[in-house]
Amino acid sequence: MTDRAPKVTIVLNTTSGSADTPRRRIEEAFARANAGAEIVEVTGPGIRAAAERAPRGNALVAAGGDGTVSAVGSAAADAGRPFGVVPLGTLNHFARDAGLPAEIDEAAKVIAAGRTRPLDTGAVNGRRFLNNFSLGFYVQLVREREIQQRRGRRKWAAFAGGLAHAWVRYRTMTVRLEVDGVALVRRTPFVFIGNGEYEAEGLDVGKRRSMTGGRLSIYVAPECGRFDLLALSLRALAGRLTPDVKLEAFTASSVSIETASARVTAALDGELVVLQPPLTCVSQPGVLQTLLPDA
């Protein structure tokens, strides 16, 4: 762990869930924390490129939602720079699970203190992710949601419309998994792989208990009908998975996935990417030097 106030470059996504947060409010928060910060505003595309152009040696800070966090965090990990977060998204999964404050002033204080601890990331075929990677139904949901947003719908309306369209187009797929060397074949609507160890039940379902153990969480849904899948999706969204929802769960340091297709579309921290199987997914322990509060 280090304890040294860093120079800071903040990559601010002006299209994040809390895009009404003015630049001035962030500047004032960092001034009160006695942290000199350069703010680079980015609208949608170009987030990672903006992070990579930051002055050498500066800590990189993502001001936005989980997509912004993933892009800036990946750039920070590749460059070996300290990484901070000002959570401005709708859900802020990474910030929540890492124990980071949701308030801008408190986030600025954490970043100004300069205390880093190493967190894990995941990677699939060399592409890094901070939260999760998935195949199947969720990919279709993301695709349909983006179509709805391009048509002018707001975020949650687009999600609802995307869910309805994905449900109509529901298909299962056959995958061959090799989980830490153990081979499995499954027919499933989706495969989900998370960076870290997730809570699978109880009040904290969907949250990570750890991002430091060098482990991935792997979930494979059972083959089921449309209505069962819809119920599963809504209960997962509400954080109400119960023992009768039979997700098959594993933890591992690596997993390989083969499909019948020569190319597959996957969701990588919410971004759609096209990959060529076999998909090799690994944990990358301790590569993200994250600016965190005292333990």
Instruction: Provide the CATH number for the domain around residue 212.
Output: 2.60.200.40
**What is each CA distance from 280 to 181, 255, 258, 275, 283, in whole angstroms?**
12, 6, 9, 10, 10
Phi, psi of 169 (to 5 degrees): -95, 15
The domain boundary residue, chosen from 88, 113, 138: 113
Are 18 and 98 in the same domain? yes
- Residue 295 placed within a domain: no
The domain boundary residue, chosen from 113, 146, 166: 113
Range of the structural domain that residue 208 is part of: 128-287
- Residue 123 placed within a domain: no
| First and final C-alpha spacing in the chain | 11
Are 107 and 136 in the same domain? no
Are 251 and 147 in the same domain? yes
- Residue 118 placed within a domain: no
Are 10 and 57 in the same domain? yes
Residue 117's pLDDT is: 96
Could you tell me what percent of the chain has a pLDDT over 70?
A: 75
The Cα 30–Cα 36 span in angstroms is 7
Q: CATH number, domain at 66? A: 3.40.50.10330
Structural domains counted in the chain: 2
Residue 202's pLDDT is: 47
- Residue 170 placed within a domain: yes
> In what helix (H) or strand (E) does residue 235 lie, and over which residues does it extend?
helix 226-237
Are 106 and 184 in the same domain? no
Residue 140's pLDDT is: 72
Are 107 and 134 in the same domain? no
Are 66 and 141 in the same domain? no
Are 157 and 272 in the same domain? yes
- Residue 274 placed within a domain: yes
pLDDT tens per residue, range 115-167: 999 999 999 999 999 999 989 877 776 666 665 666 676 666 656 666 666 66
- Residue 292 placed within a domain: no
Inter-residue contact 19 to 65 (CB < 8 Å)? no
Residue 105's pLDDT is: 96
Are 215 and 159 in the same domain? yes
Inter-residue contact 86 to 59 (CB < 8 Å)? no
The domain boundary residue, chosen from 113, 146, 169: 113
Are 279 and 173 in the same domain? yes
Q: Amino acid identity of 47?
A: I
Are 249 and 161 in the same domain? yes
Are 104 and 160 in the same domain? no
- Residue 121 placed within a domain: no
Residue stretches of the chain with pLDDT short of 70: 1-6, 16-21, 141-151, 153-170, 200-206, 223-246, 295
Phi, psi of 163 (to 5 degrees): -60, -45
Reference 289, options 34, 58, 13, 55; nearest CA is 58
Residue 157's pLDDT is: 66
Residue 215's pLDDT is: 96
> In what helix (H) or strand (E) does residue 123 lie, and over which residues does it extend?
strand 115-124
Residue 137's pLDDT is: 77
- Residue 240 placed within a domain: yes
Inter-residue contact 169 to 163 (CB < 8 Å)? no
